[in-house]
Chains A and B, each alone.
Chain A
Amino acid sequence: ETGVTQTPRHLVMGMTNKKSLKCEQHLGHNAMYWYKQSAKKPLELMFVYNFKEQTENNSVPSRFSPECPNSSHLFLHLHTLQPEDSALYLCASSQALGGGGSETQYFGPGTRLLVL
């Protein structure tokens, strides 16, 4: 148990559905991340929030929409996804970014997403 929870753990959705992934951290961190992990590919950083402000968006398609209402919660809203979006979506948190270095990231268990 790392102090980062994700719901749901598994999700199956059609290409026309709208769903949301939720991440919550109980570690007092100020930076939160969304990653995508596909088979045989490196972990792909999708979004970064530092003190609730989005600092990074690695050319992620607009069908993925992040939301960070406060430092403890992070959402990933999904709509009109494609089958190639099927993957494990991981959330992580860390101490605030900047200040000369990035410290340890704490990961949630992930949401296994299947898009039909």
Chain B
Amino acid sequence: SQQGEEDPQALSIQEGENATMNCSYKTSINNLQWYRQNSGRGLVHLILIRSNEREKHSGRLRVTLDTSKKSSSLLITASRAADTASYFCATDPSGGGADGLTFGKGTHLIIQP
């Protein structure tokens, strides 16, 4: 079953604005990760936040995690045209398991110059 669900499905903003994407999930997790995918390419890992962390920063990226609401958000500040891509959250269910991460459907972000 689908674990992560990103919201919105698509987002179009002007260059320089901030972009916020949300992810909701259903089960307890060890960690939650965000990935980026340029059109037709492989996914690239952006950031990992563990279940005992509430906020994490990496450059222009800020990720929050609320385990009580089973949700996470990814904020990209001062967006650039090169940030245009699809962004996926991926969850690692707690309790182990042999299948690793479960990915959401993604948010397609378009940055207009």
Contacts and interface: CB of A to CB of B under 8 A. Distances in A.
Q: How large is the interface on B (under 10, 10 to 19, 20 to 34, 35 or more residues)?
A: 20 to 34
19 contacts: A33-B100, A42-B104, A45-B99, A56-B99, A97-B98, A97-B99, A98-B96, A100-B30, A100-B96, A101-B31, A101-B94, A101-B96, A102-B30, A102-B101, A105-B43, A105-B100, A106-B45, A107-B42, A109-B42
A42 B44 contact: no
Interface string B14-54: 00000000000000001101010000111111001000000
A101 B45 CA distance: 16
Interface of A: 2, 4, 6, 31, 33, 41-43, 45, 48, 50, 55-56, 58, 88, 90, 92, 94, 97-110, 112
Interface of B: 2, 30-31, 33, 35, 40-45, 48, 88, 90, 92, 94, 96-106
